[in-house]
A and B are shown apart, each in its own frame.
Chain A
Amino acid sequence: MSEKGIRIGGLSKRYGKGDTAVDALKHVDMHVAPGEVVGLTGPSGSGKSTLLKCLGAVISPTAGRMTLGDQVIFDDGWKVKDLRALRRDKIGYVFQAPYLIPFLDVTDNVALLPMLRGVPNGEARAKALELLTALDVQHRARAMPSKLSGGEQQRVAIARGLVNQPPVILADEPTAALDSPRAMAVIKILNEMAHKFQTAIIVVTHDEKIIPTFKRIYHIRDGVTHEETGEGRGFE
């Protein structure tokens, strides 16, 4: 069976050892297909960030399997050699705080990612500008991040997550700092991008405004996920 998208099965993560050990994830299963945007919710301390870190190849799970397309990333303690290159090439990140690099202008914040993969500067900037235009922040292309509004920063951060056209994008509370219309705009963009680039997008959120927009939501509590199929209003 040829796999598509990102899939995890029986994924567990234990922090620490012995009496103080914390089982942050317990046999989590999850699958996100290309072009799909799914939500991930759960109370504080339930394991959302831990799951995101595993999906993002930032930490390694204690047990379980994760595949990205045909590639096995983790398998019961085994992991691919170069997680750094995997993150660079396959995964896009969008955070709650945009965490833009303060000493690079908007274009170079986005263009840095293709540059890290060896794309020539001019080509990388052209690609960045294309995405900034798609996200409607091209007019701030030469501005420094500190001069942007919260919504503009978030859109630049989304452009950065998308610029390498990774098969997976992880978004952590991307709308928390935004008002309702802007939050909806961001979700709309994510849906469009997922469709356009066939990206699997996972959005961690508490945001009641946007939860109804997801067709599928994974709810996590005490390290265990439950899949819920919502009445997604649809943005296609």
Chain B
Amino acid sequence: MISLAGRDILQAWGKFVFTGVGLGLLIGVTLSMAGIYRGMIDDAKVLLDNSSADLWVVQKDTLGPYAEPSSIYQDTWRGIRGMPGVARTANVTYLTMQVRQGERDVRAMIAGITAGEPGTPGWPPYLVAGRQITRSHYEAVADIASGFELGDRLQIRRNHYTVVGLTRRMVSSGGDPMIFIPLKDAQEAQFLKDNDAILQSRRRTEANPAFNKPGSPDLLGAVIDSQTTNTYVNAVLVQIEDGYSHDDVAESIRRWKRLTVYTRAQMEEILVGKLIATSAKQIGMFLVILSMVSAAIVAFIIYTLTLGKIREIAVLKLIGTRNRTIAGMILQQAIALGVIGFVVGKIVATLFMAPIFPKYVLLEPLDSIFGFIAVVLICVLSSVIAIYAALKVDPAEAIG
């Protein structure tokens, strides 16, 4: 027996290829959407991995520092440092903002990292170029996704920074490239008011007789100092000594310091389950819509192709072709269309979408396999109407 479906496709290959390419573009977008979701999860994991922290200590009852604002006193780390099982601690601040360089500005997540040696929690674990920050002010390490280069001068708030090192794949969970600067600078940037605001605040403080007592001239200076310096950080990153249970250390910090502490697993849960959840739902919706559009296209094309063959189908039935053979012919064509579409879609996603998309697109082989199965299933379901129409054809139609 010969393949009726195959012969028909060979005869009308133009129609199949064009439809397949159109379907392929849709499938390419669908695969890319899945890749964007995977990329977001991967970004979140990389963010957590690269912070080289085992625990995140944040303001009590917050989901900080990534999903919610968190603010804890900058000296909190000292108390945590002394607790059993704690190897290292480091303050960290994060703020997302526009970073200016000359004419252009880039949205970035600024990470304020404590002075120390490489390996300190919060530090970028490896650089692709340049060196780590060595001075306590006005140096920056930027991710290459920001477009900055070594030696570039960036402006964050009022201060200028020189890029001394470059990282790769260091992005926030929102996909913004990270820029590391010294903690003190970051604290200042986070709480910095503009000049007028500082002057006004100073004037109000001076006018307050409680602060400006004639007998104690130092008081006013101290109050103004405390108003303009930021003594808070967003989180304390903790590394745990080998041999200690992360959960146990987290629990004792919770109990003794009355702070909220997250382990790596909990932090991942927060990022993936809460921060990315809305985007994931949007992507899920798009996947559903794209699947339905693809199904409609396949159904329409296969139905049209089948209607164009009603006479031949009547003849095939008259000469004794089984319904199964005729249904198989239509089904195989639908699947062939799906396979062409999938191959085109995979190529589009891999070669065109992923490289140019402004977000990290992670195309997982397993997603491709699921995608392929879904495409085939959709094609099978879409051919049902056409098969129904073909089976209804009366062989008597072949005789006048």
Which residues of A pack against B, CB within 8 Å? 49, 52-53, 56, 58-59, 84-89, 93, 95-96, 99, 101-104, 108, 112-113, 115-116, 118, 121, 144, 160, 170, 172-173
Taking residues whose C-beta sits less than 8 angstroms from the other chain, chain B's interface range is 20 to 34
- Interfacial chain B residues near A89, Cβ < 8 Å: 320
Whether the Cβ atoms of B11 and A102 lie closer than 8 Å is: yes
In the assembly, what is the distance between CA of A115 and CA of B1, in Å?
A: 5
B75 within 8 A of A: no
B365 within 8 A of A: no
- Interfacial chain A residues near B315, Cβ < 8 Å: 99, 101
A58, A103, A115: which contacts B399 (Cβ < 8 A)? A58
* Apart from A58-B394, A173-B400: 14 A-B pairs, beta carbons within 8 A: A53-B396, A56-B399, A58-B318, A58-B399, A59-B396, A87-B319, A95-B400, A102-B312, A103-B10, A112-B319, A116-B321, A144-B11, A160-B319, A172-B400
A-B residue pairs in contact (CB < 8 Å), sample of 10: A49-B399, A86-B320, A87-B395, A95-B399, A99-B398, A102-B11, A104-B2, A104-B4, A113-B320, A172-B400
B379 to chain A, nearest CB (A): 20
Smallest CB-CB separation from B400: which chain A residue? A49
Assuming A99-B315, A102-B312, A144-B11, is B399 touching A112 (CB within 8 A)? no
Residue of B318, B320, B396 ringed by the most chain A CB atoms within 10 A: B320
B8 within 8 A of A: yes
Whether the Cβ atoms of A115 and B2 lie closer than 8 Å is: yes
Whether the Cβ atoms of B11 and A93 lie closer than 8 Å is: no
- Interfacial chain A residues near B394, Cβ < 8 Å: 58
Closest 7 CB pairs of A and B: A88-B320, A103-B11, A103-B8, A87-B320, A58-B396, A103-B7, A99-B315
CB-CB contacts of B303-333 with A at 8 A, as 1s and 0s?
Answer: 0000000011001111111100100000000
B12 within 8 A of A: yes
Whether the Cβ atoms of B2 and A96 lie closer than 8 Å is: no
Assuming A88-B320, A89-B320, A144-B11, is B398 touching A95 (CB within 8 A)? yes
Residue of B8, B10, B11 ringed by the most chain A CB atoms within 10 A: B11
Whether the Cβ atoms of B400 and A56 lie closer than 8 Å is: no
A18 to chain B, nearest CB (A): 22
CB-CB contacts of B366-400 with A at 8 A, as 1s and 0s?
Answer: 00000000000000000000000000001110111
Looking at chain B's contact residues, the main secondary structure is helix
Whether the Cβ atoms of B8 and A99 lie closer than 8 Å is: no
- Interfacial chain A residues near B398, Cβ < 8 Å: 93, 95, 99
Residue of B312, B318, B319, B396 ringed by the most chain A CB atoms within 10 A: B319
- Interfacial chain B residues near A112, Cβ < 8 Å: 2, 319
CB-CB contacts of B76-89 with A at 8 A, as 1s and 0s?
Answer: 00000000000000
B1, B10, B311: which contacts A116 (Cβ < 8 A)? B1
- Interfacial chain B residues near A144, Cβ < 8 Å: 11
In the assembly, what is the distance between CA of A102 and CA of B311, in Å?
A: 11
Smallest CB-CB separation from B308: which chain A residue? A102
Whether the Cβ atoms of A87 and B1 lie closer than 8 Å is: no
- Interfacial chain B residues near A56, Cβ < 8 Å: 318, 399
In the assembly, what is the distance between CA of A90 and CA of B91, in Å?
A: 90
A53, A99, A118, A172: which contacts B311 (Cβ < 8 A)? A99
Whether the Cβ atoms of A121 and B1 lie closer than 8 Å is: yes
Whether the Cβ atoms of B318 and A93 lie closer than 8 Å is: yes
- Interfacial chain B residues near A49, Cβ < 8 Å: 399-400
CB-CB contacts of B107-142 with A at 8 A, as 1s and 0s?
Answer: 000000000000000000000000000000000000
- Interfacial chain B residues near A113, Cβ < 8 Å: 319-320
Smallest CB-CB separation from B325: which chain A residue? A116
Smallest CB-CB separation from A49: which chain B residue? B400
